[in-house]
Amino acid sequence: MKRRLFLKSAMAGSAVATAVGAGLLAPSMVFANTADFKAKSDAATASTAAAGKGSFKFKAPKIAENGAVVPVTVDASKMEGVTQISISVANNGTPLAASFNLSGAQGYVSTRIKMGKTSPVVALVTAGGVTTKVTQEVKVTIGGCGG
């Protein structure tokens, strides 16, 4: 498909990463009418590769109590001009869990995600045109007890 080819060729020159970084890869812009989530996930993955380490807070458990409900919080409220926060679970089929475009809300998001197995979880924050990341590995175990 045209969009996939665009991504593949762009990745080489990290134009996509730049596009994401500049806040250009916003919903319903590059990907016209329909929100093609898988493509957004690919874009986030590309962005993760290009992003430098962030100074924001990313809270996720080291060992998840229950893989179906893993609480995660991204707190970039001390940063100026946060325009986007996204959360990805690297080892999930489609890594991107959610992408929040902020246009007035503070740089803060808290939610609960599903994880099928142990995986790094990546928080991406775009502020002032620059995307940075914080990664945390979350262990998911299968419990034994409790009826």
Point out which residues bind another protein (CB under 8 A).
27, 35, 37, 40-41, 59, 61-66, 68-71, 73, 77, 89, 92-106, 108-115, 141-147
Minimum CB separation from another protein for residue 109, in Å? 6
Q: Which two tokens stand for residue 133?
A: 């990341």
136's tokens: 């945390």
Cβ atoms 12, 55 nearer than 8 A: no
Q: Least CB distance from residue 100 to another protein, whole Å?
A: 5
Could you tell me the smallest distance in angstroms from the CB atom of residue 68 to another protein? 6
User: Shortest approach of another protein to residue 12 CB, angstroms?
Assistant: 25
The three-state secondary structure class of 4 is helix
* Nearest-angstrom CA–CA distance, 13 and 107: 29
User: Which has the closest alpha carbon to 60: 99, 20, 100, 115?
Assistant: 115
Interatomic CA distance for residues 56 and 4, integer angstroms: 31
The smaller minimum CB distance to another protein, of residues 12 and 33, is found at 33
3 or 114, CB closer to another protein? 114
Between 9 and 101, whose beta carbon lies closer to another protein?
101
